[in-house]
Copies of this chain bind each other. A is one copy, B any other.
Amino acid sequence: MLITPVILSGGGGTRLWPLSTPETPKQFLALTGEETMFQMTVRRVIDAAEFAQPIVVANAAHADIVTAQLAEIGVTDAILLLEPCARNTAPAIALAALALEDSKSPMLVMPSDHVIGDADAFHAATRALLPMVEDGWLATYGITPTGPETGYGYIQTGEALNTGVSAVVKFVEKPDAVRAAEMIASGDHVWNGGIFLFRADVYLGALAANAPDMLAAAQAAMAAATRNGAQILPDNAAFAASPSDSIDYAVMEKAARVAVAPVAMGWSDVGSWDALHELGTKDDGHNTTIGEVRLSEATGNLIHADGIRVSVHGVNDLIVVANGKEVLILPRGTSQKVRDFAKD
């Protein structure tokens, strides 16, 4: 049975301001290559031998940019589920599950703003998980940690269920540094990458058990949805009545049969300008530059120039991001400060 990709594109983060804005959040930007992260996410699941037409769940305000970016990569058969308001991931995924014609179809749920360097490893993990999923398990991808990060949730892995697949012991919220180090030392914890695989009916069943109000709201919103070609617009009032919660809290942490495939796949959530420096190609001076940038006696910098030229002499370990309207300058390692500037 073909897997239906469900691409979650509702995010509107501010951590990559000034390039990422509510109008053009980071998934629609070409920050790491020629294509946008949204386009690269869709491309990853485009093989017709394995995948059905994708469902894109997006903010209704982004319908045009989604359609345009899909057309640029030749995808014309996607279903667009346009959220009238944001209710976090659990209700968004419920809309997608209800949109599937075959309720036993496996859904591969992916954020649209992550980078996966090793797509083969990703697909291998999917194939390893598929038998468990067909058997009614909820499944998730566990990112092999590269350090004691405090910015991610963790998953403790338990008994082996299959080659490359373990039962989940428990989900752990973003830890402090001490706890993160303990988990890394334990060897049985992976990062929660926010990528999921399950049958539509299994997800809806888990919602019925753990978040029935959310399921009812999604069902009402889809029953009263407007359809416009490949676009589905769930009813605003009905969907607005849904509780707002993440799939992790609302479903995964509470469900009984949850499997995880630990995988090292060059994953990044591209959650900061610092992350983009880590991901980027470096010159001899450990600088990563995008766009029209001139450097002289400068090392360790991330310089991102969008439609403007940036000339830098004699500075080290800075993040510099500029477009025609805004210039951001701060030291590498402090990119969480971006949120303060992005507020107004």
Q: Which of A208-216, A229-237, A274-282, A334-342 makes up part of the contact surface?
A: A334-342
Using an 8 Å CB-CB cutoff, how does the interface string of A312-328 with B read, 1 for contact, 0 for none? Answer: 11110010101011111
Residue from B309, B310, B326, B331 in contact with A311 in the complex, judged by beta carbons closer than 8 Å = B326
| A301 nearest CB neighbor, chain B only | B329
Whether A314 touches B327, Cβ cut-off 8 Å, given contacts A294-B341, A340-B296, is: no
- Please indicate the chain B residues that have their CB under 8 angstroms from the CB of A119 in the complex: none
Q: By the criterion CB–CB under 8 Å, are B313 and A329 in contact?
A: yes
- Please indicate the chain B residues that have their CB under 8 angstroms from the CB of A334 in the complex: 313-314
Residue from B320, B330, B337 in contact with A327 in the complex, judged by beta carbons closer than 8 Å = B320
How far apart sit A318 and B312, CA to CA, in the bound complex (Å)? 11
Q: By the criterion CB–CB under 8 Å, are B329 and A311 in contact?
A: yes
Whether A327 touches B324, Cβ cut-off 8 Å, given contacts A296-B337, A313-B337, A334-B313, is: no
Whether A312 touches B329, Cβ cut-off 8 Å, given contacts A322-B322, A324-B324, is: yes
- Please indicate the chain B residues that have their CB under 8 angstroms from the CB of A340 in the complex: 296, 313
Q: In the complex, how many residues of chain A place their beta carbon closer than 8 angstroms to a beta carbon of chain B?
A: 27
Q: By the criterion CB–CB under 8 Å, are B314 and A320 in contact?
A: no
- Please indicate the chain B residues that have their CB under 8 angstroms from the CB of A18 in the complex: 311
| Cβ-based interface call for A305 (8 A) | yes
| A331 nearest CB neighbor, chain B only | B314
Tell me the smallest distance from the CB of A79 to a CB of chain B, in Å. Answer: 39
Tell me the smallest distance from the CB of A341 to a CB of chain B, in Å. Answer: 4
- Please indicate the chain B residues that have their CB under 8 angstroms from the CB of A318 in the complex: 315, 329
Most buried by B among A305, A322, A327: A327
How far apart sit A331 and B296, CA to CA, in the bound complex (Å)? 12
| Cβ-based interface call for A46 (8 A) | no
How far apart sit A327 and B309, CA to CA, in the bound complex (Å)? 6
- Please indicate the chain B residues that have their CB under 8 angstroms from the CB of A311 in the complex: 18, 326-329, 341
Tell me the smallest distance from the CB of A335 to a CB of chain B, in Å. Answer: 9
- Please indicate the chain B residues that have their CB under 8 angstroms from the CB of A330 in the complex: 312-315
Tell me the smallest distance from the CB of A336 to a CB of chain B, in Å. Answer: 10
Q: By the criterion CB–CB under 8 Å, are A315 and B329 in contact?
A: yes
| Cβ-based interface call for A121 (8 A) | no
- Please indicate the chain B residues that have their CB under 8 angstroms from the CB of A223 in the complex: none
Residues of A at the B interface (CB closer than 8 Å) are 18, 294, 296, 305, 308-315, 318, 320, 322, 324-331, 334, 337, 340-341
- Residue pairs across A and B with Cβ atoms less than 8 A apart, 26 shown, are A296-B340, A296-B341, A305-B327, A308-B325, A310-B327, A311-B326, A311-B328, A311-B341, A312-B328, A312-B329, A313-B329, A313-B330, A313-B331, A313-B334, A313-B340, A313-B341, A314-B330, A314-B331, A314-B334, A315-B318, A315-B329, A315-B330, A320-B329, A324-B324, A327-B327, A329-B329
Nearest 9 CB-CB pairings of A with B: A313-B330, A311-B341, A310-B327, A313-B337, A312-B329, A322-B327, A314-B331, A309-B326, A311-B328
